[in-house]
Structure 1
Amino acid sequence: MCATSDWVGAYDATSGEGLWQLSDEAGTRIAPDVTGAWHGAVYAWTANGALVLAARAGADREVASGVAPYLVNEHIGIADAPGGNGLAAFRATG
């Protein structure tokens, strides 16, 4: 996974082959602001809110996740607190 201010892309860890990228050539999808990744999920923000992408395909897994954690594991995600007052811990679901 690589990201800049207006581009996000993923590469296969073994072959180095490019898997996907956003913004797309058709201009139908913008590059989100990536906050973290864990076990096949990429967490990010857009102007429409938080979302989760499939790491190998770049497709939407969840378009209204509510949070985009900066740190995540199998138990917890650390993300912006509701209302913008610091950080909060959120129980992992799935």
Structure 2
Amino acid sequence: MADVDLSKYRNIGIFAHVDAGKTTTTERILKLTGKIHKTGEVHDGEATTDFMEQEQERGITIQSAATSCEWNGHRLNIIDTPGHVDFTIEVYRSLKV
């Protein structure tokens, strides 16, 4: 296995209350780094990290989602979490990572 330079990795968890823009922020990061070519609208069901049918229909994040991208020689690992209190266990699981 090749040596991996861990100093070039950044692990980012996005946590905030409901409707704070967590998924929108994730979409914007993915767009600015070139991972996606179009920023998906959460309320239109087009967000990259909201892949479950129920998330797309309701316009909210239900399950934490991990994605990654490259920026300025670094690998960014991003976890987008739900903000609604009903899905607190998902946030807790993400914090344990």
Question: Is the TM value for this pair above 0.5?
Answer: no
Q: Name whichever structure is richer in helix by fraction.
A: 2
Q: Name whichever structure is richer in strand by fraction.
A: 1
Q: Structure with the greater relative contact order (CA < 8 A, sep ≥ 6): 1 or 2? A: 2
